[in-house]
Copies of this chain bind each other. A is one copy, B any other.
Amino acid sequence: MDGLMMDQPLLLNTLLWRTERLFHDKKIVTRTGPGEYHSYTYADYAKRVRRLASALLDFGVKPGDRVGTIAWNHYRHFETYFGVPGIGAVLHTINMRLFPEQQQYLINHAQDSVLIIDEDQIPVVEQLVALGIPSVRAFIVMGDGPIPETTLSPVHRYDDLVAAGREDYEFPVFDENTAAAMCYTSATTGDPKGVVYSHRAMVLQAMCLAMHDKLNMSESQVWLEVAPMFHCNGWNIPHTALLQGATLVLPGIHPLDADYVRTIEDLRVTGMNGAVTIGTMMRDFVRASDRDWDLSSLRTMWLGGQAPSLAIMQWWEQTYGTYVVQGYGMTECTPQICFNSIKSTLAERGEDEVYALRQKGGQPIPLMKIKVVGEDGGELPWDGTSVGDFWVQSPFTAREYFEDERTKESMVDGWFRTGDVGAIDPDGYVIIKDRSKDLIKSGGEWISSIDLENALMAHPKVREATVVSVPHEKWLERPLACVVPADESLTEEELREYLTQGFAKWWIPDSFLFVTEVPKTSVGKYNKKEIRGIYAQGGNAEILRRIGAGSAKPVA
Query: Residues on A close to B: CB < 8 A?
Result: 1-10, 14-15, 17-18, 21-26, 63-64, 90, 177-180, 195-201, 207-208, 210-211, 213, 216, 218-220, 243-245, 334, 341, 343-345, 363-364, 366-369, 382, 393-402, 414, 416, 426-428
Residues of B within 8 A of A2 (CB): 177-179, 196, 198
- Bound together, the chains give a CA A395 to CA B366 distance in angstroms of 19
- Bound together, the chains give a CA A382 to CA B24 distance in angstroms of 13
Q: How far is the CB of A78 from chain B (nearest CB, A)?
A: 19
- Bound together, the chains give a CA A40 to CA B507 distance in angstroms of 44
Residues of B within 8 A of A216 (CB): 213
- Could you tell me if B397 and A6 are in contact, using CB atoms closer than 8 angstroms? yes
Residues of B within 8 A of A26 (CB): 343, 345
- Could you tell me if B196 and A4 are in contact, using CB atoms closer than 8 angstroms? yes
- Bound together, the chains give a CA A11 to CA B265 distance in angstroms of 44
With A10-B367, A345-B25, A366-B15 given, is the CB distance from A5 to B219 under 8 Å?
Answer: no
Which one, B8, B195, B201, B364, contacts A394 given CB within 8 A?
B8
- Bound together, the chains give a CA A201 to CA B363 distance in angstroms of 25
Which 9 residue pairs are nearest across A and B when measured between Cβ atoms?
A3-B198, A213-B218, A1-B64, A211-B211, A22-B428, A210-B211, A1-B179, A4-B196, A8-B395
- Could you tell me if B6 and A395 are in contact, using CB atoms closer than 8 angstroms? yes
Which one, B10, B14, B345, B399, contacts A7 given CB within 8 A?
B399
Which one, B3, B90, B201, contacts A178 given CB within 8 A?
B3
- Could you tell me if A6 and B393 are in contact, using CB atoms closer than 8 angstroms? yes
- Bound together, the chains give a CA A146 to CA B248 distance in angstroms of 60
Residue of B nearest to A341 (CB): B219
- Bound together, the chains give a CA A249 to CA B158 distance in angstroms of 56
Residues of B within 8 A of A18 (CB): 364, 366, 368-369, 428
- Bound together, the chains give a CA A382 to CA B394 distance in angstroms of 38
Copy total for this chain:
2
Residue of B nearest to A218 (CB): B213
Residue of B nearest to A198 (CB): B3
- Could you tell me if B414 and A6 are in contact, using CB atoms closer than 8 angstroms? yes
Q: Would you mind naming 6 contact pairs between A and B with Cβ atoms under 8 Å apart? A: A5-B197, A7-B177, A18-B366, A22-B343, A207-B211, A245-B343
- Bound together, the chains give a CA A3 to CA B9 distance in angstroms of 14
- Could you tell me if A5 and B198 are in contact, using CB atoms closer than 8 angstroms? yes
Known: A5-B196, A25-B345. 7 other contacts (CB 8 A): A1-B196, A3-B177, A3-B178, A6-B393, A7-B395, A8-B367, A213-B244
- Bound together, the chains give a CA A5 to CA B333 distance in angstroms of 9
- Could you tell me if B345 and A201 are in contact, using CB atoms closer than 8 angstroms? no
- Could you tell me if B366 and A6 are in contact, using CB atoms closer than 8 angstroms? no
Residues of B within 8 A of A427 (CB): 22, 24-25
- Bound together, the chains give a CA A368 to CA B195 distance in angstroms of 29
Residues of B within 8 A of A368 (CB): 18
Residue of B nearest to A343 (CB): B219
Q: How far is the CB of A372 from chain B (nearest CB, A)?
A: 12
Residues of B within 8 A of A213 (CB): 216, 218-220, 244
Q: How far is the CB of A523 from chain B (nearest CB, A)?
A: 21
- Could you tell me if A180 and B3 are in contact, using CB atoms closer than 8 angstroms? yes
Residues of B within 8 A of A1 (CB): 63-64, 90, 178-179, 196
- Could you tell me if B211 and A4 are in contact, using CB atoms closer than 8 angstroms? no
Residues of B within 8 A of A195 (CB): 4
Q: How far is the CB of A124 from chain B (nearest CB, A)?
A: 26
Residues of B within 8 A of A400 (CB): 4
Residues of B within 8 A of A23 (CB): 343
- Bound together, the chains give a CA A438 to CA B367 distance in angstroms of 42
With A22-B364, A25-B345, A364-B18 given, is the CB distance from A399 to B4 under 8 Å?
Answer: yes
Residues of B within 8 A of A401 (CB): 4
Residues of B within 8 A of A344 (CB): 219-220
- Bound together, the chains give a CA A292 to CA B428 distance in angstroms of 42
The interface centre, meaning the residue of A2, A64, A195, A416 with most chain B CB atoms within 10 A of its CB, is A2
